[in-house]
Structure 1
């Protein structure tokens, strides 16, 4: 019986949707669903969710819930990683402390100072997961959803290169979905390819029946001037290719948008937006808990098209499909650094996930991607070597951070964030986390 492990299963909305997408496949064998979280209350809700979703789709599944990560991982075939180290409290620190210093972020979980510190407190837990997997399920696929995506996948490639790690994000799919809706063209039958880095890949090909769809997008922008008040449209018009993440995320990767009140107003940005999203997620957990207690059906999103269920289905049934995945750059994109984590089209079949060589991406897109990859590389190197100066240099390399604060201010900000996150950071980086606690979810 194939065993699928959900790490961070207490992320109940995401767990619910992944299970729904998985159970929609009627040709899968009976599955063993193993749910793990460090929060007993959240784990109980996840377990109730899994039981209800399986029943609603008429599926038989062996659902197991455990607070013991090693117990969860023993014998796993697939490990879906959704952990958020520190939860909403750490997220508040990532966003509010920089904002008080004059550095604004919208999401703060992937790049910039928020992404760096989220990565630094996630790496020790990933090291523990990797050690457990090498011991208990060395052949399992590690399907990562946890942000910062590129940094986390990069870290896994450093500490456990033999583990089959793939980073999964739905941004490419939903970008094309929304663009097709904007121009009035059905998504079905559309051909598209994107490549670059997570949350900043470029829609290099987008066509239907051999017709390039970009001219229709340009016409839509001409008809609606308000579209020019969106970050992604500005990037598209300046760079020539559409970026594959929301305007809120995209704004953080560049120095163009969050540096002044005028730009924030012009592009209709909401700094610290992720705080509201995080609070909504907490409220949704409470709603799910109450619904389960009352025996009410949980709301399921139709057609979410998440990649992890597709990967699992392809490997178990041999169904071939193409997704976009985050993997180590081994000759995949010629004008991005070897060994970095890139997002490229990938074929999935019974033998696994096979990244497809893309060649060079547009030079202007690669130039912007390299800025982010420098931040990610320095953050990974800081954790690998235990050099706290590299943490500061990673933040200094971030375009948004360096356009908002001076180097002296950034150093002071990193000092404060280190102190606030000390219990989740290694001693070498100024925290209090010792090597013998790396394998624990903190």
Structure 2
């Protein structure tokens, strides 16, 4: 088979190298075309060199087309992976640090809450430009496989306004599936699940082993587990009160709802610091900075390590390669995908981007009807969907009033901040991220005037309830294996031990 696959944001080593391995493990894909593009020339050069070495050592003749010209990479592409982070780690620091001054303590900040909303404002504008390039130069009816966050917001914008067939992909369902199998001491492949909701708030509404329903036994199993009883306190509490387990980690979930991170003195009751994803303040920002710094520093050693092996046995669990395999070969693949709802989940809005079971074969991607979510689970999702909708419409239109309303409606921001504090925080975020927010030029000009002329509400020098210091290169060199693993993993929390 011969077709072209393009990677946008290919300088992201964690995703790009693993997704390429998964794709080229399919024997029929040994002669496909591969294109990488990024705005960071050095990162793009390093990732290309590493991936090309993998290709060569697996005996394939594919030559990666590596270019800073996005349209050149997208030209004639049939499939496009988006793994972009608009604004990079510089903007990400603003997403975490500015809200902290107002008491909004985030662990991740890439999906909801103040950080996720701002990440969406930057990302949506650029994703619409990417969609325009795809419409202009890629294959007709090509498929955009979006791995970038905020997953639901970006996928929503691309499908509603971008004019490009888009599917959002995440590994959260697989991670929770592993945990559920673990608490029952079963193999993951032997536990059948149905998961439905929205990205990062997807609920395991059916769990079966050999036909036996296990959902009613799940709370006791998690409460008695020696590790998860300590590391997943928020998820277990949500399971206790809503009846169903949620896909996302303790740290992720804690910032999507209003109850667990609103009082600094109580945050430590719900988290631990064994691994960042268990709830560490700014934890994802820290490990991303460490991973980037380590990759740049240690790259020569990566080139000396054994190449990735393109074998079926080495494939990961990311959905992307399996979807392309199913579409091209007709082999059926079942996964959980982010798609427009329509009438799949009947008690959340039809225009929302949901995460639900899907099947793929040569005929395309099909999503069966789930029906109603349990009422409490739907209520949690619907609160987030309102924030997502406001955020998407704000980003597309540059309407600052909608943006501020998204902050007001956000569960955690609303639990912590007063309306005047929210207005000032949005001003601060807009000003700090001006270069990535062209749609807000007028609003930013007015925010600057307010910032210098009006009496400011006092803010804090708050470092967060559970913030750890970013490791230096010298500190990372003391455990090179751990540093390398962090840098190369797309899922930077695949292992989640407690302290």
Say whether the fold is shared (TM-score over 0.5): yes
Indicate the residue corresponding to 1:88 in structure 2: 89
Gap regions ≥5 residues in structure 1:
433-442
Q: Describe how 1:28-67 pairs up with structure 2 within 5 A.
A: 28-67=29-68
Aligned to 1:156: 158
The aligned runs of 1:3-402 (5 Å cut-off) are 3-137=4-138, 138-161=140-163, 163-224=164-225, 227-229=228-230, 230-268=233-271, 269-286=279-296, 289-292=299-302, 294-297=303-306, 302-402=314-414
Over 6 Å off, 4+ runs = none
Q: Larger deviation: 145-154 or 349-358?
A: 349-358
Which string of whole-angstrom CA distances, capped at 9 and with x for unpartnered residues, describes residues 166-207 of structure 1? Answer: 000011011101221232111113211101000001001111
Residues 233-289 of structure 1: CA deviation (Å, up to 9, x unaligned): 111111100001111111111001111134311111311111212113213422562
Question: Is 1:375–1:395's contact at 8 Å kept on the other side of the alignment?
Answer: yes
Deviation of 1:139 (Å): 1.6
The Cα of 1:381 is off from its aligned counterpart by 1.3
Moved more, 52-61 or 270-279: 52-61
Aligned counterparts of 1:227 and 1:44: Cα–Cα separation in 2: 40
Q: Distance in 1 between matches of 2:404 and 2:202?
A: 26
Distance 2:121 2:48 in 1: 30
Cα-to-partner distance string for 1:126-178 (whole Å, 9 max, x where unaligned):
111111111112321000000000000111122224x2100000110111012
* TM-superposed deviation, 1:60: 3.5
Inter-CA distance 431–38: structure 2 relative to 1 (3 Å threshold): farther
Change (3 A) 1:431 1:184: same
Distance in 1 between residues matched to 2:304 and 2:266, nearest whole Å: 48
Give the direction of change, closer, same or farther, for the CA distance of 1:318–1:344 in structure 2 (3 Å limit): same
Separation in 1, partners of 2:349, 2:70: 34
**Alpha-carbon distance change, 401 to 140 in structure 1, aligned in 2, over 3 angstroms:** same
**Quick one: distance in 1 between partners of 2:121 and 2:346?**
28
Inter-CA distance 324–144: structure 2 relative to 1 (3 Å threshold)? same
Q: Is 2:57–2:307's contact at 8 Å kept on the other side of the alignment?
A: no
Number of corresponding residues: 430
The structure-2 alpha-carbon separation of the partners of 1:224 and 1:77, relative to structure 1 and needing over 3 Å to count, comes to: closer
Equivalents in 1 of 2:5, 2:16: separation in Å? Answer: 12
TM-score computed with the length of structure 2 as normaliser: 0.82
The Cα offsets for residues 285-330 of structure 1, whole Å up to 9 and x where unpaired, read as 22562235x5333678955211111111111111101110101111
Query: Once the 2 structures are TM-superposed, how far is the Cα of residue 35 of structure 1 from its aligned partner?
Result: 0.4
SS in structure 1 opposite 2:27? coil
CA positional deviation for 1:427: 3.9
SS at match of 1:314: helix
Unaligned runs of 5+ in 2: 272-278, 446-499
- Report the Cα distance in structure 1 between the residues aligned to 2:184 and 2:59, rounded to whole angstroms: 38
